Amino acid sequence: MSGPFHSMSISGSGMDVYQTWLDAIADNVANINNVSPTSGAAFQERFVIAQAQESRRGGYEGAYVEKVELGDPNGQVVFQPEHPMADEEGFVRVPSIDLAQQMTHMLVAQRAYQANVSAFRSARDAYQRALEIGR
Amino acid sequence: MTVPIPPASSAGSALTTTLRDSDSAQPNVAVPTPPPTAAVESPTTIEGFAKVVNDALDTVSQLEYGADSASQQAATGDLSSVSDFMVATSDAQLATEMTVAIRDKALAAFNDILTMQI
């Protein structure tokens, strides 16, 4: 991905990465109270793995989402004998996701997205100023 | 969908319209076909300022094609990322502004020669 206005595409790739992270956090929060039987796996937390895009000719190519890793399938085993999914001993499995941590991750992802928008904006302004040189 | 063009470059929109007309002369299909890589075909090799203008026009038409397909995805609901759309449209807008700047400079040079005292 290369063109005359390259720094704008770099910021765009950063926005894509943080959008994916925000999606993953939303998924984690949406499933945080899922209950599964002890025979099955708990909901696994999503971890977005981002990496710098390698450039062949040198220079900067931005970031991309390499993969999405899954967290601990064991979760936490909780005693809830009244739950319809509980086993004979009264245990169910719930995901081991920390809501406070998800919220701080969300703030980081949101601010980082905004930072990329700022970088995009200043790159665009710089190009516009460059076009004004000849005027 | 037309790429947003600043009001100062009203002549530039006429330029892009001409580009579009030459594109739509091809069979009319729903999906816009990518523009040919060389916008101006000439039997002789193009060099110097003409080459610069030619390359700039190529870039503009390619970026506008990108913005067009992004707009189409937005309209049909296939758009996966809002930032991609904004990057594509900003790219196309800046490229159009760049073409207008180059054209203004070329016209100014031409006019200077026309008004030259002999």
DSSP track, A31-74 = TTT--EETTSPPPPPEEEEEEEPPPSSSS---EEEEEEEE--SS
Q: CB–CB of A19 and B63 under 8 A?
A: no
Give the Cα separation of A105 and A71 in Å (integer): 15
Residue B27 has pLDDT above 60, yes or no: no
* pLDDT at position A70: 94
* pLDDT at position B53: 80
Bridge partners, A93 (sequence order)? A36, A77
pLDDT band at B48 (very low <50, low <70, confident <90, very high): confident
* pLDDT at position B74: 87
* pLDDT at position B78: 87
**DSSP state for residue A97 in the 8-state scheme:** -
Is the predicted ipTM greater than 0.85, yes or no? no
* pLDDT at position B32: 57
Distance from CA of A127 to the nearest CA of B (A): 8
Nearest CB partner across the interface for A8, out of B81, B87, B97? B87
User: In 3-state terms, what secondary structure has residue A135?
Assistant: coil
Q: Which of A25, A39, A24 is nearest to A74 (CA)?
A: A39
* pTM assigned to the model: 0.71
Residue A91 has pLDDT above 90, yes or no: yes
Give the Cα separation of B77 and A42 in Å (integer): 33
